[in-house]
Amino acid sequence: MLKPLFALTALSLSTTSLALQAISERELSDVAAQAFISVDSSSYSEGGETWDFRRINLGLDIQTLLTADELVIGEFERSYGDGDGTAPMVVEGSDGSQRTVEFIFEDGEVKVPSADLILENFALGGVKNPYSENPEVDAFHIRDPYIELAYKDNEQGIRQVVGFRMGFGKSQGYLSADLLSVTGNFQAYVTGIGRDAYNSACEGPDASGSATQCLLLSAATGSVIYSPIELLDGYTGNALPSGTDEGVRYVKRATWAGVPTGGYFSTNGWLGGILPLLKAKDCEISGVRSCLKTGIYQSIYLGLPEEQREEGATFDDTAARGVFFSLQSGLVPWEDLSGLTTDGRVYTERGAFFNSAAYADGQGNKRYPLTLDLYGGLAGTPRVATCVGRIKGC
């Protein structure tokens, strides 16, 4: 069986085009390189359980423009209210000035998205001047991608693969999609002038801020206010459902994001000790709407945007760290590669998981993959063009 293979190999090596030629020691000393593929092994124990990990590191530097009609991962049955953190699908009520939402029902059950991750019109990278005669690809840049497997012994002592993840050591560029269902860590940071919050809460026909809220916001109209946002249960406004002590660590199949119940705006100066008293409740923070559909965030810039970079900053200085997609059959504590911790873990449970969370930049500063002004946080971010001659649907 092996003779034809050996014969073919010998014939191939005998051709002039594939002939090997020796190089001198001097020529060899001018060559610098590293392994294209390396493998790391590690283990982690917690609560009497142990996971073993094998990470295949690919020494690649990739710049790409990638599009897909739909990215669906983790398609299996989940239900709302069973304690695993699955978020319901909800619609806004007819009265837009109040916190009024309604469940979507199907066969008498609260409807949830059909998969953990549903990203329609998915794209990595973008196109500058898409309608001009000279469109330019704005590539998504990936350095040191990797594939990792998690192993664990089952009750019979048989070692099994319980998790798989694909991640980027460092990445920078636009990730665009219609975010119809998101499971995992989706973190952003909203910042703006207090005047914008005051206008939203206290002026116009839909203003719903109380007298106390408007008084405090009026004092902050000239101050910079800020807050992180994350995935929410759109019905309760909570980042995590009740029962987190039982192991629920994140919202699953979320379709809403924002400042969760108990969150607040922060600012500098004396107001920094007062604004936290106005905590988010019922999807409202200081009279400002704080629950928003994930679909309004059409493009996420991973890494530090160009307008925020210091002169001379390199890719290593500005790239995002820790971004990954994963699938697991049960609880898997993946190593946190965001750079914010040296021994932290990203806990994932059964199903699919997308990690787009805060990270440390090249100088060790905490950054967020999506930074919004206050208006953008309320109105969303438009999609960048991802194909020539049109915005999406390539």
Residue 328 scores a pLDDT above 90: yes
Question: Mean per-residue pLDDT for 20-28?
Answer: 67
Residue 5's φ and ψ, nearest 5 degrees, are -65, -45
Q: Is residue 390 part of a domain?
A: no
Beta carbons within 8 Å of 226's beta carbon, 6+ residues apart = 189, 190, 191, 192, 265, 266, 267
- List, for residues 207-265, the tens digit of each pLDDT value: 777 888 888 888 888 888 899 999 999 999 999 765 555 567 899 999 999 999 999 88
Give the residue, 273 or 295, on which the prediction is more confident. 295
Q: Is 71 exposed, middle or buried (0-12, 13-18, 19+ CB in 10 A)?
A: middle
Position 39, amino acid: V
Split into its structural domains, the chain has a count of 1
Q: Is residue 2 part of a domain?
A: no
Which of 283-287, 346-350, 352-356 is least confident?
A: 283-287
Give the residue, 23 or 193, on which the prediction is more confident. 193
Residue 31 is predicted with a pLDDT of: 63
Q: Is residue 26 part of a domain?
A: no
Q: Is residue 108 part of a domain?
A: yes
The domain containing residue 278 runs over which residues? 36-379
Give the residue, 198 or 34, on which the prediction is more confident. 198
Residue 9 is predicted with a pLDDT of: 39
pTM, 2 dp: 0.85
Give the residue, 2 or 209, on which the prediction is more confident. 209
Give the residue, 65 or 343, on which the prediction is more confident. 65
Three-class SS state of 302:
strand
- Give the number of other CB atoms < 10 A from CB of residue 360: 16
Q: How confident is the model at residue 18 (pLDDT cuts 50, 70, 90)?
A: very low
Question: Mean per-residue pLDDT for 315-343?
Answer: 93
Q: Is residue 24 part of a domain?
A: no
Q: Is residue 154 part of a domain?
A: yes
- List, for residues 121-169, the tens digit of each pLDDT value: 999 999 999 999 999 999 999 999 999 999 999 888 899 999 999 999 9
Residue 70 scores a pLDDT above 70: yes
Report the distance separating Cα 174 and Cα 308, nearest Å: 15
Q: Is residue 28 part of a domain?
A: no
Write down the mean pLDDT value for the chain: 86
Cα→Cα distances 383→124, 183, 229, 323, 372, Å:
12, 21, 19, 20, 14
Position 299, amino acid: S
Residue 53 is predicted with a pLDDT of: 98
Q: Is residue 18 part of a domain?
A: no
